[in-house]
Each structure stands twice: as structure tokens, then as C-alpha cells.
Amino acid sequence: MDTKKLRVGIIGAGGIAVNAHLPNYEKCLEKIQLTAIADVAKEKAIAAAEMFHIDSAYDNYEEMLKNEELDAVSICTPNKFHAPAAIAALEAGCHVLCEKPPAITVDEAEAMTAAAEKAGRILTYGFHFRHTQQVAALKRYIDADELGDIYAAQVTAVRRRGIPGWGVFTNKELQGGGPLIDIGVHMLDSALYLMGYPKPETVLAASYQKLGNKKGVGVMGDWDWENFSIEDMARGMILFENGASLTIETAFAANVEKLDVMDVSLMGEKGGADLFPLQIYQEKHGTLVNTTPAYLPKTNEHELEITRFVDACLTGSIPLSTPEQGLYLQQIIHAIYTSAERGEAVKISEL
């Protein structure tokens, strides 16, 4: 055993663990040791352990945390288990990279934040879009005040028929919701990050279940339409304490032209921007100009997320995504679902 290397464990051996976390931890083997993996389906833990040369496989993460003296853990379970697994790992003295969304409820996100503070360990979330070159480049423009005060944003995460045909993404009990909490949360986080995470105040939203509960064309495979318990569309408007506003549109299925749109539009006093693809809109010298990058480095955002997490664990640097931001995000998600359910605007402070 090399005690100088960060001992890394994985909780949940499904899609995101095998396709994003493990291959990128493998690129850090000079700094880490892939020590153990746990999945309630032990055969999945064993298969991943074989594929990535991980020393031990468990069917119970608590046992893994007790036995393995881990330094860092990735949490890659369905959303329902994020909070209990993250809190257990933090209490066991581990730094935690938890997949998005932070959790299902605000109480859970609060408990995770408190556990990280108490343990003095890193808690960060898998918002990998933050690590894209588009977000990084636009952040540099915003930091140089090229957009001025950003007072309006539009967030889009809309698929035409992209209801996942695998996993538990259509199960409200295990995921907490549908496109809003699964894909909308990525674009919402990117927008809020670029806006400086303003404090949300009031939310008005609506959600629908119109297409997912019927048999239909599945661009992402055949989904379980008979047990479809989530919204297939959620839309909302958020007002912030600083006067800014943000509209959000999310769908796994909607009758729209494009198969898949993920984008953030920002509008500021000095300029505006779209994120995917990156374009900046300004008025300069009496001319309306658009700026598009001629070149952006090709990087892998999942790799950057993992390598930055590893470096943060080893150096104490602060990761891009913080527990406090995760909590704000969870409050907004909760407020959107609550407003949609009540059919009226809600104040975050009153929830």
C-alpha cells in the first residue's frame, strides 16, 4: 500500500461512475490509488473493480468506509442516496465529490453542507459544465466587466424526445423529479455561476406531464412510460434579491424543432452572451458586434472535474463548486417544484 497516495473510493458503479469518474481517476494514478468501490448490486461493483483494477468491491458503502481508510469518495448513486452517502463519507473523514444534483431536498443539502463544515472536508458537486472551455472563457469576459451588470438570463435544457430509457431517471422517489433536477440543474448552475450566484427571492413555475406517460418515439431508448412519475417539462421564472431575473425551460420531451438544446443566454448592461455555442453581443464604437471564439482548447470537462477534485484534496485549494452554491441551487429547485404544485408564486424565505 502506498500511503502517500490519495485513497479513493466510489459509491455507485453505474453509468456515470464507469464512463466519467473511473476513466478520469485512472489518469491520476500517480497521485491516487483506486482503493474500493461499493454498489448495492455487488456484481456491478465487482465488474467495475475488474475493469479499473480497483482493489476491493463491496455491496455496502458503510462497510467500505469502515474498512478502507479512504481519503476521497465519489458519489455516483441515484439522487436519493446522495445525502446519506455523502454524510457518511464526510463523517468517515473523506473529501467528497458528489454527482449532481446535490440532493433531493433542501434539508438534505443543508445537512451535507453542515457535515462538510463539521468534518473540515471538501464537499463539491459534479457540475461538469462549469469545467467547459465555454464557461471558463465567458467567465473571463465577465470578470473583465465586458457584460456589465447581468440583469437577465434564459436557461434552456430541452429535449424533443430524450427521456432516458435506462436507469431510474423517470422515478420521482429515487430522483426527486425529472428534467429540471436532472439536466436543467446543469444549465441553471452554469448561469448562476456566471451571474455570481445571486440570492434567489421569488419563484413562479409550472410543470407538466403530457408526453412521458404515453408510449412514443424514444430518441434515448424506450422508457418505462407506464411508471413515469416525473414531470416531462418544467418552466419557471426566478427573481433575485439584486433585481436580476432568470427564466428556465426544461424538458425531457416537448414538441419542439430541435432534438436537444442545452444553453444559457445572459443579458447585461454592457453586453450579452450565449454559451453553447459561445457568442458575445455588444455595442462598440457605434456598431453592434458579435464576438465568437476562433479557437477554444479541446478539453474533457469530466477529466478537469476529477483532476481538480484530486488536486483540491491534496493541496486544500477550493473547488469550483461549493456546498453553499449547491444549497442555493437546491432551494431554487424546491421552489420551482413547490410553485408548480401550488400554482402560485413562492418566496424562498417562506418555504
Q: Please state, in angstroms and rounded to a whole number, the distance separating the CA atoms of residues 270 and 343.
A: 36
Kindly state the smallest distance separating residue 100's Cβ from ligand NAD, in Å: 5
Closest to ligand NAD by CB, 44 vs 160, is 44
Closest to ligand NAD by CB, 79 vs 202, is 79
Using a 10 angstrom Cβ sphere, with 0-12 exposed, 13-18 middle and 19 or more buried, the burial of residue 343 is exposed
Backbone angles phi, psi at 223, to 5 degrees: -95, 165
Closest to ligand NAD by CB, 81 vs 151, is 81
Closest to ligand NAD by CB, 190 vs 282, is 190
Closest to ligand NAD by CB, 74 vs 207, is 74
Kindly state the smallest distance separating residue 345's Cβ from ligand NAD, in Å: 28
Backbone angles phi, psi at 51, to 5 degrees: -65, -35
Q: Which residues pair with 122 in a beta bridge?
A: none
Kindly state the smallest distance separating residue 315's Cβ from ligand NAD, in Å: 24
Closest to ligand NAD by CB, 24 vs 77, is 77
Closest to ligand NAD by CB, 72 vs 76, is 76
What the block records as the C-alpha cell of 23 is: 476513466
Closest to ligand NAD by CB, 126 vs 198, is 126
Q: Where do we find the cell 490509488?
A: 33
Contact residues toward ligand NAD (CB under 6 A) are 11-17, 38-41, 44, 61, 76-79, 81, 99-100, 126, 128, 167-168, 182
Kindly state the smallest distance separating residue 99's Cβ from ligand NAD, in Å: 4
Q: Please state, in angstroms and rounded to a whole number, the distance separating the CA atoms of residues 317 and 124.
A: 12
Using a 10 angstrom Cβ sphere, with 0-12 exposed, 13-18 middle and 19 or more buried, the burial of residue 175 is buried
Q: Please state, in angstroms and rounded to a whole number, the distance separating the CA atoms of residues 209 and 110.
A: 29
Closest to ligand NAD by CB, 81 vs 337, is 81
C-alpha torsion angle, residues 29, 35, 37, 38 (rounded to 10): -160
Q: How far is CA 176 from CA 45, 85, 100, 215, in A?
A: 25, 16, 12, 22
Kindly state the smallest distance separating residue 143's Cβ from ligand NAD, in Å: 25
Kindly state the smallest distance separating residue 240's Cβ from ligand NAD, in Å: 25
Kindly state the smallest distance separating residue 292's Cβ from ligand NAD, in Å: 25
What the block records as the C-alpha cell of 333 is: 429547485
- Omega of the bond prior to 277 within 30 degrees of 0, cis? yes
Kindly state the smallest distance separating residue 211's Cβ from ligand NAD, in Å: 21
C-alpha torsion angle, residues 186, 187, 191, 194 (rounded to 10): 60
310: Cβ contacts below 8 Å, ≥ 6 apart: 6, 8, 25, 28, 31, 32, 72
C-alpha torsion angle, residues 101, 107, 111, 114 (rounded to 10): 100
Kindly state the smallest distance separating residue 56's Cβ from ligand NAD, in Å: 14
Q: How far is CA 154 from CA 101, 191, 287, 288, in A?
A: 20, 8, 24, 21
